Amino acid sequence: MTSLTTAFTAEAPLEHEPEDGGDALTLGRRVRERRIERGMTLEQLAGAVDRAPSQLSAIENGKREPRLPLLRALAAALGVTVDELLIDEAPSERAALEIAVERAQRGTVFGSLGIQPIRVSKATSDETLKAILGLHQEVERLHRERAATPEEARRANTELRAEMRVAGNYYPELERAASQLLDSVGYTGGPVSQQTTSNVAEKLGFSLHYVSNMPHSTRSVIDRRNGRIYLSSNLPSRDARAPILRALASLVCGHEEPRSYGEFLRQRVEANYLAGAVLLPEGAAVEHLAAAKKQRQISMEDLRDAFGVSYEMAAHRFTNLATERLGLEVHFMKAHESGTLIKAYENDGVRFPSDALGNFEGAMVCRNWTARTIFSQPDRFNPWYQYTDMTAGGTYWCTSRVEKAKEGLYSVSVGVRFEDVKWFRGRETPHRSQSFCPDDRCCRQASTELTAKWEAAAWPEAATPTSLLAALPTGTFPGVDSNEVYAFLEQNERSS
């Protein structure tokens, strides 16, 4: 909106329609409140400033914004300064309520409903105004949730991945936060124990509570009022360190309720990063990896075993440190046994499968890539190494392992360009494949003979994932049943 304090030319109109109605509404209410305090009628004030009552009525209702000469005349007639009229604060609680309702009715959400706005007058009760405002806020909330479509989520995810690529997936502020947490509890080295993570929680003012009735849609729940962190007593891995640290990340990183899906994703990335940075401290992890690089024996298994973490966390943590601290550009991927790419990161130029918007997650991985060929190997207890020649650009080497989750089997893979494989264990592998993807003839298109034989005869029923046609989970924290969470907290507070 044009500033009310801007100097205007003599030829400018005396008033104009405000662009958003925000400051004009507050100014109008201040003029009205002051006029009533002085016992003046609208007609008396109009006469004092030589304007029609209808013009002043429009100003008081926030439908017109006075130019500076008229604003000065109004201030003089009301016995106040121009600055007093321009204070961006409602003159009373009632005025603040009226302004909020007027702003709501003039907004795009209210307008999209096709409802005729009500005229706010002295006769309109506070309860009526509060009801209208409450309904508007709820409709606006539903609109925000509806805006979190799968397309918006994928766009936000693609933007976040691009940012991570530029940063080399290394965030010094999170590294410092992790170091400070460990220093605060006297950590001196070695694998970070369960007791150490419990001490970190206690240092931050929180006690740990393991319960059997965790809300089904949550991994953990923080009760900030009573200083508690609730975790499931039936953790699949029997290792609560990572869940505790992810929960504490919201406090350490100063997370507030996410206002968008992009912010929700960023908070998840930060929580996972902080957990990894605490469980594999930068100094110790870099020392381990630098020694392994010197010996040309970098291994995700050794990193996992040295710090007592999962293979996936070790692989994630390696990508945090590889570029910034070891001078290696790498890629990481997690793929479901169906071939769907679940997570992906790269700064080594590998061309992941993607959609038209450049989003990796949800795309199908080539059957000839390490992340897929590992599923056909009989030995699931040893790492699988493979070179893959990409017609789209260069040769890459990958090491991969299979892990099990409730959704099925997943492969977790880490890879580098051919010229960097000299630093890794497994570089002598004889296993090699060739990928022509995204050409469908590589692995998605059946042979001419099979197509001719079965094209007209086959009629398969797709095992469509239930999430394929579903909308993105809604809510402040997507997918979380807030009613269930609040009832859970209430129950546990009463029983303590």
pLDDT, residue 152, reads: 72
pLDDT, residue 475, reads: 54
pLDDT, residue 426, reads: 95
User: pTM for the whole thing?
Assistant: 0.67
- Percent of the chain at pLDDT > 90 equals 42
pLDDT, residue 145, reads: 58
pLDDT, residue 427, reads: 96
Q: From CA 437, how far away is CA 442, in angstroms rounded?
A: 6
Check: CB of residue 274 under 8 Å from CB of residue 172: no
pLDDT, residue 63, reads: 82
The number of beta carbons lying within 10 Å of the beta carbon of residue 361 is 19
Q: From CA 275, how far away is CA 249, in angstroms rounded?
A: 8
pLDDT, residue 193, reads: 92
Task: Please tell me what DSSP assigns to residue 220.
Answer: E
Angle between helix 150-166 and helix 261-279 axes, rounded to 10 deg: 40
Q: Residues in the chain with pLDDT < 50?
A: 1-22, 464-472
Tell me: the pLDDT tens digits for 289-302? Answer: 999 999 999 999 99
Check: CB of residue 334 under 8 Å from CB of residue 310: no
pLDDT, residue 1, reads: 32
Q: How many residues does the chain have?
A: 496
Q: What are the two backbone dihedrals, phi and then psi, of residue 14, each rounded to the nearest 5 degrees?
A: -75, -25
Q: From CA 64, how far away is CA 15, in angstroms rounded?
A: 6
Cα dihedral 291, 297, 300, 301 in deg (nearest 10): -100
pLDDT, residue 45, reads: 93
pLDDT, residue 21, reads: 44
What secondary structure does DSSP assign to 257-293, as a single string?
--SSHHHHHHHHHHHHHHHHHHHS-HHHHHHHHHHHH
